Chains A and B, each alone.
Chain A
């Protein structure tokens, strides 16, 4: 990108609260059910129905607000956001406009070791809409209201990001915090977390440019591609002497471009007003304090603790704490074991195996207890690190215990000095010329002898001991 241009990015994240029932009705929120089977009279907006708010959803919003280091507003108000669309039976969405439940806050992102604070403008509660299917019939739209009324938290950032990398780091961080708090499952594929990205460009030192909103991005890859395309598009327009039109755009995966969403002129006249069906929400200070005190350790704190407690690198700590389940798995394995060994087994071997099968750590074929047992065998010297990799591969596909696999494969490391000596003596006898060369100063041949012993022992000789003994014998 031409360096005289600056990109300004602000993000709205819609995060689905992981409640069992909807925000204002008792219908289930289960994903993937048959169409229109989780729709109550309230969700279908039958006349005379009244919304009753879900206490758990309020608690989750407060928890998330605290996790985003934000101000919790003791009084908040629900408003009607009016618009007409076929998947919005009420004709309005219940949302929060002037008085959201959570006010301003701030989180930290880190890119290549450099930290940056990103402001949070607000977090408010609102209802999700239903789902429209436009591809079932050329002239008709099919509507499923299962999602209608599910509780969402809309988290609005300040326009503090300046690159796609920062935008992705921000969404990842918010997702990580919500997953730690267990307020949203963060499943982007199922749409539990989606981002609307506001992008504008300006020349250095100039005031903010006109922004475009990129709607409903549900993967980190799409966020990056959509921003890159949009920035290039806007710069080109301005350099051609034209003006950016403020509009909503959709990212099209197949063409890797963003396209204007045709919308009617008056589509954004929402005519917000307080919902007369709902009273103001007043939060008790003691209740907020109680939630604060029960908050789990969050990713930043955990990362700092990992660095001091286990003496691992900033990078490793970041990798191991960005996901709560991973951090818990790591700590289950570590107990009294060697941190370096555990980091390498979790962050390299385990991650590689999970990536290969496209599994999350919750569905790991090797649980933390089993991985711990394997690492114990390495630490005890029963098997070499190399043999352990072979055992690990087997553990990923079979239900056998570590011991069984080691026995079945005959991988037990030979750590008996006298036994190793026997193998070495044989190798020395078989290679008199090389022994002579070594004694005449060609000490590089040490590796040759070690290799030969490994060959005859099928790699089972304890490498540390072997090295020591071979050296001792040759140097004598």
Chain B
């Protein structure tokens, strides 16, 4: 079982873009550890002869035909954005 420590919890928070206080981090660490140990009980079941399940619904994927439709207007799409210009979303500069 993965032992949650501060480093892993911090990394997860960072990947999730969450800014957490020290006490929140500590609580989360405890919660995640207990969640994992709960889930770990599943390991007791022998699943050798069972195909991995990716979805619990016993249905087929629903398909749609390839039809292009008019969707949102540019004005409507950008209606709630904090900043836009020339029809673009505008965000602080990010260059990877």
Contact = CB atoms under 8 A, between A and B. Distances in A.
B93 A141 contact: yes
A58 interface: yes
A274 interface: yes
Contact of A143 (B66, B74, B90): B90
Contacts of A82: 15
Contacts of A21: 66-69
B44 interface: no
Nearest to B54: A274
A136 B86 CA distance: 11
Interface residues of A, number: 59
Contact of A279 (B14, B61, B66): B61
Contact of B96 (A55, A58, A142, A262): A262
A28 B65 contact: no
A451 interface: no
Contacts of A55: 63-66
B14 A38 contact: no
Interface in A6-33: 19-21, 25-30
A280 B61 contact: yes
A387 B87 CA distance: 56
B2 interface: no
A99 B95 CA distance: 32
B19 interface: no
B17 A85 contact: no
Nearest to B71: A40
Contacts of B94: 85-86, 132, 141
Nearest to B63: A55
Nearest to B70: A28
Q: Which 7 A-B pairs have the closest CB atoms?
A: A56-B66, A274-B54, A142-B88, A55-B63, A28-B68, A40-B71, A143-B89
Interface of B: 11, 14-15, 17, 54-55, 57, 59-69, 71-74, 77-78, 85-96
Interface of A: 19-21, 25-30, 34-41, 43-44, 52-58, 77, 82, 84-86, 99, 132-134, 136-145, 261-263, 266-267, 269, 271, 274, 276, 278-282
Given A21-B68, A142-B90, A282-B60, 15 more contacts: A26-B64, A27-B68, A28-B68, A34-B74, A35-B86, A40-B72, A52-B63, A84-B15, A84-B17, A137-B90, A141-B92, A141-B94, A279-B55, A279-B57, A279-B62
